[in-house]
A and B are shown apart, each in its own frame.
Chain A
Amino acid sequence: MYEFVTGPLAWLAFGVFFIGLTVRIILYIRGLDWKMDRVTYRVNTSYGIRGAIRSVVSWLIPFGTGGWKTHPVFTVITFGFHLSLLISAIFLPAHNFILKRKWGVSLFTIPEAVGDMMAILVMIAVVMFIVRRLVLPEVRILTTAYDYLILAIAVAPFITGFIAYHQIFEYKLWLILHILSGEILLIAIPFTKLSHFVLFFMSRIQIGMDFGIKRGGMKGSGLTW
């Protein structure tokens, strides 16, 4: 079982992840239409690029935009969640150990205690996401079962990983469950709202170009998000 999930299934999962996201990016770009969108993508490109960079970068900085500033608690949870999720997944010693063993390379690794803390942060953040979906009327009205499913898919690798690492229950079983849940996550990303992994960038670049070229970007320094 271990050989299967770390072998062919892993290949499949990563394959779907990388190819799927590439396809989504390509489909997005090919589906843009300067006439329908009313943005001349290929004209005034320098303004478009500047607008795109401002659009992406300002939203990648905590409290870098009016939106983040007016929602301080949510901003902290969101940045904490995403940063912990990405950093722990990519720079965990255990993951890089496998990478080294299989491919001979390892990335920079974070201390295990830090990885552990980040896993906990992810789980706490998910609880807070769930709470706000239940408690805030403006979020509740938008929330569907699908949103909870997405949260479950995203948090499962962290719960199972934490349990496996600390050997809270039977190690071998929870290790397999961790790997499987990670693969489910990887496969789900291109096909669900988790595709915001790349579509965040696509969408922000597009709106940045829109404002950069058409909606005022050529009249000065551009929009302050």
Chain B
Amino acid sequence: MAQGTLCNRKPINTEEELRALMADNGGKLYYREMEELDVDQNALWEAIQKTLKSRLKSWLEICVHCGMCADSCFFYLANNKDPEQVPSYKIQSTLGEMVKRKGKVDNQFMRMAMDTAWAKCTACNRCGMYCPFGIDMGVMFGYLRGLCFSQGFVPWEMKIGSGMHRVFKAQMEITKEDWLDTVEFEEEGIFDEYKGMSIPVDKENADIMYTLNAREAKHYPEDITEAAILFNLAGENWTVPSEGWEQTSLAMFAGDWEACKLQAENVYAAMDRLKPKRMVGTECGHAYRATVLEGPYWAGLKSGKTPVESLHYVEWVAEALRTGKLKLDPAKKIKEPVTLQDSCNYVRNGGLGKITREIMSYIAEDFREMTPSKEHNFCCGGGGGLNGIGRYHKQRNVGLQVKMDQILATGCKMVIAPCHNCWDAIRDMAKIYQMDLKWSFLKPILLNMAIIPDHFKLDEDE
């Protein structure tokens, strides 16, 4: 069974392996080795027999080839209605074939399956909404990613990403010390601007335990600062955990089910340890999906719910504004026309479209919907890990066109995108397609509009 030094069926479990893989720039050797990687057909078929149940089996069998899924898919639309982008075709020619052949597929097939699963689908689940039978091809591609991962056919950055979660319990190499240093540093920054504010760490029985995206810790620490200031302004009894603070899950994008479970359990362990009343996550879509919606199942929790009630950031914001915990100066509302991105993972797949619109009513004077909107809105084009995969950069850039056209059609030069992947996708599309566009998370806008109670203001001479 030929397996490479970098490209093989073993998940990354040590820092040494992780660094070795990362050192291979762009995955050059990794992908070369992949061309020789053998398929363990017995293991593949065994995995399918164990895990392909009624739901997926029926989905594959019952598709009547009607083609209604075609124009539900942004990849199909962005690629000039290329028939090979029809969701049913994409899944039947990969997973469908794999099952029909009882796992007897070769290296070339698996590479094709990988290319389809990660570059022709972001698992946005829109097709599942438009199929008369409710066949959710996004879910099936998630499942296929799992099979591909188990056989070692996974994009380089995804293998690294899930390795990060296994080794560092975060999507980036941030140790506990790094994290605590970052928190301390940001807190000191807050002391320079406000008084009476803090970032409590490991506080037990708080009302809110905040979890976030490791990218914020590594590259956008101002996001952490903003979150902290907002919680303080709202008078929340909150904390961050010293461990289990990472809510994202590149493991989910990678199809590494074992790491998905470990990652979710990190957060749940923090919940068990600190016993907060609720957990609030940062502005990230897949983090919410992975930790709050799917996580309980990976962790085997029969309730299907997280140990502690969990909110997406937008739910906390809406509540804080609704109850007046956080007060905004209405004179500072956004005056220019502004539109709103509906992130798949918490709007279509989370039912929070009403919540985000409630927030817009507090912060914008001229809010204009995209067409279509809410749960029918299109994926940003960069979800499912696609934003970060170099091998599929071209495909991603083409896919962005649908969201771009939607934004242009609104006539807005500003878009609110409370999700890291959507934010990245919009940032990239603005650059690539030279759009006159501003995009923003909620935090900076809220901070800009927030009325600062006097007791937080530094004295003149401080």
Are the CB atoms of A31 and B54 closer together than 8 Å? yes
B28 sits at the interface (CB 8 A) = no
Indicate whether A43 sits within 8 Å of B86 (C-beta atoms), given known contacts A138-B70, A215-B349.
Answer: no
Are the CB atoms of B89 and A220 closer together than 8 Å? no
Which of B59, B297, B376 is close to A66, meaning CB atoms less than 8 Å apart? B376
A137–B51 Cα distance when bound, in Å, is 33
Which chain B residue has the least Cβ–Cβ distance from A147?
B65
Which of A136, A141, A202, A213 is close to B84, meaning CB atoms less than 8 Å apart? A141
A191–B206 Cα distance when bound, in Å, is 57
Are the CB atoms of A219 and B65 closer together than 8 Å? no
How many interface residues does A have (CB within 8 Å)?
59
Q: How far is the CB of B147 from chain A (nearest CB, A)?
A: 13
Which of A36, A144, A147, A216 is close to B351, meaning CB atoms less than 8 Å apart? A216
Are the CB atoms of A215 and B350 closer together than 8 Å? yes
Q: Of the 9-residue stretches B177-185, B300-308, B424-432, which lies at the interface with chain A?
A: B300-308
Are the CB atoms of A32 and B68 closer together than 8 Å? no
Are the CB atoms of B53 and A195 closer together than 8 Å? no
Are the CB atoms of B351 and A208 closer together than 8 Å? no
Q: How far is the CB of A81 from chain B (nearest CB, A)?
A: 12
| A to B contact number (C-beta, < 8 Å) | 149
Provide the B343-357 mask, 1 if CB < 8 A to any CB of A, else 0: 000011111101100
A44 sits at the interface (CB 8 A) = yes
Chain B residues near A36 (CB-CB < 8 A): 51, 53, 55
B81 sits at the interface (CB 8 A) = yes
Provide the B56-85 mask, 1 if CB < 8 A to any CB of A, else 0: 011101111111101110001000010110
Indicate whether A28 sits within 8 Å of B58 (C-beta atoms), given known contacts A71-B68, A139-B67, A140-B83.
Answer: yes
Which of A34, A138, A206, A216 is close to B81, meaning CB atoms less than 8 Å apart? A138
Chain A residues near B304 (CB-CB < 8 A): 34, 39-40, 43-44, 213-214
- Most chain B Cβ neighbours within 10 Å, of A31, A138, A142, A204: A138
B274 sits at the interface (CB 8 A) = no
Indicate whether A33 sits within 8 Å of B83 (C-beta atoms), given known contacts A43-B302, A199-B62, A224-B374.
Answer: no
Chain B residues near A28 (CB-CB < 8 A): 54, 58
Chain A residues near B63 (CB-CB < 8 A): 142, 193
Chain B residues near A140 (CB-CB < 8 A): 83
Q: How far is the CB of A217 from chain B (nearest CB, A)?
A: 6
Are the CB atoms of A67 and B129 closer together than 8 Å? yes
Q: How far is the CB of A141 from chain B (nearest CB, A)?
A: 4
Besides the known contacts A36-B51, A217-B351, 16 further A-B residue pairs in the complex with CB atoms under 8 A apart: A28-B58, A39-B304, A66-B129, A142-B67, A142-B86, A193-B64, A200-B132, A203-B59, A203-B134, A204-B134, A215-B348, A215-B350, A216-B348, A216-B352, A224-B374, A224-B375
Please list 21 pairs of residues, one from A and one from B, whose beta carbons are closer than 8 Å in the complex, sorted by A's number: A31-B54, A32-B53, A67-B68, A71-B68, A132-B67, A137-B81, A138-B83, A141-B86, A142-B66, A196-B133, A199-B58, A202-B58, A204-B133, A207-B134, A210-B136, A213-B304, A214-B293, A215-B293, A216-B351, A218-B351, A219-B355
